[in-house]
Chains A and B, each alone.
Chain A
Amino acid sequence: MTLRARVLEALGTVYDPELDEPITTLGFVGSCVVSDAGDVQVRLRLPTPQCAPNFAFLMAADARTAVRRLPEAREVHVVLEDHYTGEEINEAVARGAGFDSAFPGETEGDLEALRALFHRKALLARQSRLLPVPASTLGELTGPDADRCRALRRALGIDASDGAPPFVTGDGMPVDASDVRFRRMSSLTALSLETNGGICRDLLKNRNRIPPTPRPTGHSVSCDVPLGTPEGEEVAA
């Protein structure tokens, strides 16, 4: 496996916190250039220049962290491209600094509370797809949605062991799969995330028709093309 393939694999573990999908399948990785010496340059391109700065920051910072974990990666640069707060975000991410450092005086806390809020939404949404499965413990649920539920539960500090209750509220309270209110709320939340993901994909496709702002020459552009269009199929049925 080449270093570039491993970098892309690492980027596949980075989720858009708002949509609960990997940035790679969303098509947000605009380019990924790896030099022979192991220097990595990743450019992220979001669906609009005005995507929310807090989520944009999380994706850029998480991408840098994920790639830097690879022992063979030397210099790692993650750049958010054509974004209206890109300058502030790129500067802070390059230093490994926090969101508050990117926007001094414009924050009250770090982004962990926001991340946790969207983990709770994502957990609620994921569970809606598992509700038809008869299960008395979490261990009886399998497949990608169940795996993601486990990861989200662990991130939220909710028991994710095999013997744990299969379904929980965002706060970790066990809930019965037949609970009408829970079913309604989880399916509505799933619809919200899926709809937003659909709109983001469509907007990015339209955006990619307009070429990015020309950049200064002098660096490798050999692999510098969009890494495929976002997958565009509707998932709601």
Chain B
Amino acid sequence: MYERNGEKFFVFDSHLHFWDASPANWKPGAEEYAKGWIECFHAYQGLGPAETHWTLEHFQKYSVEDFEKDVFDEGHVDVAVFQSTYLKEWYTNGFNDIEQNASILDRFPGKLILNGRWDPREGEAGLRQLEEDHAKYGIQGVKLYTAEWYNGSRGWKLTDPEARPFLDKCAELGIRNIHVHKGPTIWPLDKDAFDVSDIDHVATDYNGDLNFIVEHVGLPRIEDFCFMATQEPNVYAGLAVAIGGLMHARPKFFAKVMGELLFWVGEDKMLFGSDYAIWEPKWQVEGFVDWEMPDDEAYSDFPRLGVEGKKKILGLNGAKLYGVQVPEELRAPVPSEAPADPTAAVGVEG
């Protein structure tokens, strides 16, 4: 919970990690990729305020004590979603697989929600693993990384026929929240890997059963994301990277990106995510609560974001998707619209 000027904000962090990218975990023969991946993340951390930068060594592997301090003690986070990212072709034990994430759950009862993952290229075995993960951990969501390399393949799309049984399984088991993270590669390699039109298709097919949270608001394809999200009631904007990567480094772009998201997607369908450990939540939460749309002609077309909107984005929207009880005093006076209600889409046609 974060309190500022008498207003109390419930903070639901929809996207964070507990990873091990230390050289000891680099897979022999794939060191170049493992090293490049974490150095790329570390460069992203450089987009935050200088006093929040870590050394590369610390960034590669941080302790559970660091995690507790950065996220819960100082980061204002009430409840967070642990996203699992495997990358087992590059990291021997995975970047942060579900087992590793689960190993620290007991330390933070009621504060961490564990998400799983699946990969359609794993076929029947992957489907069984998803069932097992659900049975063991009761997962309500998954994180999908479509650019993961696997057995000579450099990526996949949600519309691939092989993905259908997995989406059906999620709907059947009640794994409602599908976080999608696009990356730089896909099959075939000549297509735009960041394209979000596959999410558009499956969101329509599974409306009412599954919610699709597009991580990083579709960046670097925010235009395609906005056109899509405005038409799909079950598509949400995950703000990880938008806040961390722009609010400090490029404040004018941040204001415009927020303005476009508020216009096309709306404050009921935007979710705060710190993307820790890329960025600590503390400065992001505090900065976002203080943030105002500039009072300037260039921003006059954009909707404004008030205290209620900030409460929804920082916590209430995410808590609703994951069925988390928010203390009475922290709730919004007027409830947000239901997640899968088609009228939640902002109409721009005509």
Query: Which residues in B have their C-beta under 8 angstroms from that of A114?
Result: 190-192
Give Cα A171–Cα B231 distance, bound, in whole angstroms: 22
When chains A and B are docked, how far (Å) is the Cα of A11 from the Cα of B121? 40
Task: Report if A192-B43 is in contact (Cβ < 8 Å); known contacts: A50-B37, A50-B184, A52-B185.
Answer: no
B187 close to A (CB within 8 Å): yes
Is A179 an interface residue, CB under 8 A from the partner?
no
Residues from chain A with Cβ under 8 Å of B189 in the complex: 53-54, 99, 103, 106-107
Knowing A106-B189, A110-B190, the reply to whether A198 touches B253 (Cβ < 8 A) is yes
B260 proximal to A (CB < 8 A): yes
Bitwise, A1-27 to B at CB < 8 A (1) or not (0) is 000000000000000001000000000
Contacts of A234 in B (CB 8 A): 250, 252-253
Question: Is the C-beta of A184 less than 8 angstroms from some C-beta in chain B?
Answer: yes
Docked CA distance A82–B33 (Å): 10
Chain B contacts for A54, CB-based, 8 A: 189-193
Residue B220 CB within 8 A of the other chain: yes
In the complex formed, the residue of A with least CB distance to B149 is A84
User: Which residues of chain B are within 8 angstroms of A47 by Cβ–Cβ distance?
Assistant: 43
For B42, B46, B154, B253, the residue with the greatest tally of chain A CB atoms inside 10 Å of its CB is: B253
Q: Report the minimum CB–CB distance from B32 to chain A (whole Å).
A: 7
Q: Name A186-237 residues within 8 Å CB distance of B.
A: 188-189, 191-192, 194-196, 198-199, 202-203, 205-207, 210, 234, 236-237
Residues of B within 8 A of A52 (CB): 184-185, 192-194
Q: Answer yes or no: B150 CB below 8 A from chain A CBs.
A: no
Chain B residues with CB under 8 Å of A205's CB are 46
> What is the 8 Å Cβ interface bit string for chain B, positions 29-73, against chain A (1 contact, 0 not)?
000110011011011101100000000000000000000000000
A123 to B47, CA, bound (A): 29
A28 to B64, CA, bound (A): 38
1/0 contact string of B223-257 vs chain A (CB within 8 Å): 10011000000000000000001100110110011
Number of residues from A at the complex interface, CB < 8 A: 45
A139 on interface, CB distance cutoff 8 Å: no
Instruction: Tell whether A48 pairs with B221 under 8 Å between CB atoms, given A53-B189, A188-B226, A202-B249.
Output: no
> A191 to B257, Cβ gap below 8 A?
yes
Cβ–Cβ contact A202 & B39, under 8 A: no
B144 within 8 A of A: no
A172 CB–B CB distance under 8 Å: no
Residues of B within 8 A of A50 (CB): 36-37, 40, 183-184
Query: Given known contacts A52-B185, A84-B32, is B43 in contact with A113 (CB within 8 Å)?
Result: no
Residue B158 interfacial (CB < 8 Å): no
Question: Complex Cα distance A54/B40, Å?
Answer: 18
Contacts of A100 in B (CB 8 A): 190
Q: Bound complex: CA of A47 vs CA of B39, how far in Å?
A: 11
CA distance A185 to B222 in the complex (A): 11
Nearest 10 CB-CB pairings of A with B? A49-B36, A206-B46, A206-B43, A52-B184, A108-B188, A48-B40, A192-B223, A196-B220, A107-B190, A106-B189
Q: Which residues on A sit within 8 Å (CB–CB) of B44?
A: 203
